[in-house]
Amino acid sequence: MIGLNNKWAVVPGWHPVDKDGGGTSDIISLKDYHQAEIYIMTGAAVGQTAAVVLYEGVSVSDCDTALSFTLYYETGQMLKYDGASTTTAAAAGETATGAATGVMTVFEDRGNYIVGNKWDASQVFVDNEVLTFSGGKTAVVNGTLYNEDIMIPTVLAAGVDTFNIAATLDVNKLYCIPVNSSMLSEGMDCIAVHIGDPNTALMACWYVLSQPRYAGLPMPSAIYD
């Protein structure tokens, strides 16, 4: 059975638009929901780095208090390799660089393939090229990137409460920030996402709300409080 209007509700944060100058999403209320996932999709051009920050508030017209968060997801990919110089796995956070200038950050090295993210889509990995890890390991690329739709988590240090959409790395990518109602301060039940100035970037933003507090079809609206 389809989950829309039954298990989850989808609410636009902003429709696809050039976000030159940055801006704020529409504010939504979590009064009737326990969980929200905020999605941001970037288009083919990001002119400069833009910070993403969350806010909480008391109503859909008053949402200007910074909201702490420590987890977000972003589009990642996988890359097979063989001929490794060592069986020791590369550490999370290392970079893997191909001879043809493709670079990604290692999320996990699984012995014959990398799960990674933060890859510049303008650069390519080439089959049979040398792959050099920043920790010193070398290998040979076996094929090309695949599973480019997977979502890779990033855990932020406490108190950071932001991440950057980078100018060169983050074209045609998807981000997700999970927000649980338990993250909100006492008396707050509304959230919004702010984005810095990406200069030139077509972007869309939407919320997926789940775990409703009350049953019924259609599910409760989140644009009123």
| C-alpha closest to that of 72 among 209, 179, 201 | 179
How much is the pLDDT for 44? 77
Specify whether domain 8-70+156-212 bears CATH 3.90.1150.10: no
Do the bridges between strand 174-180 and strand 33-42 make them parallel or antiparallel, or are there none, so unpaired? antiparallel
How much is the pLDDT for 20? 92
207: which residues sit within 8 A by CB, 6+ positions away? 10, 11, 12, 13, 28, 36, 37, 38, 39, 222
68: which residues sit within 8 A by CB, 6+ positions away? 159, 161, 183
How much is the pLDDT for 133? 98
How much is the pLDDT for 119? 86
What residues of the chain score a pLDDT lower than 70? 1, 170
Neighbour count for residue 13 (Cβ, 10 Å): 21
137 forms beta bridges with none
Which pTM was predicted?
A: 0.92
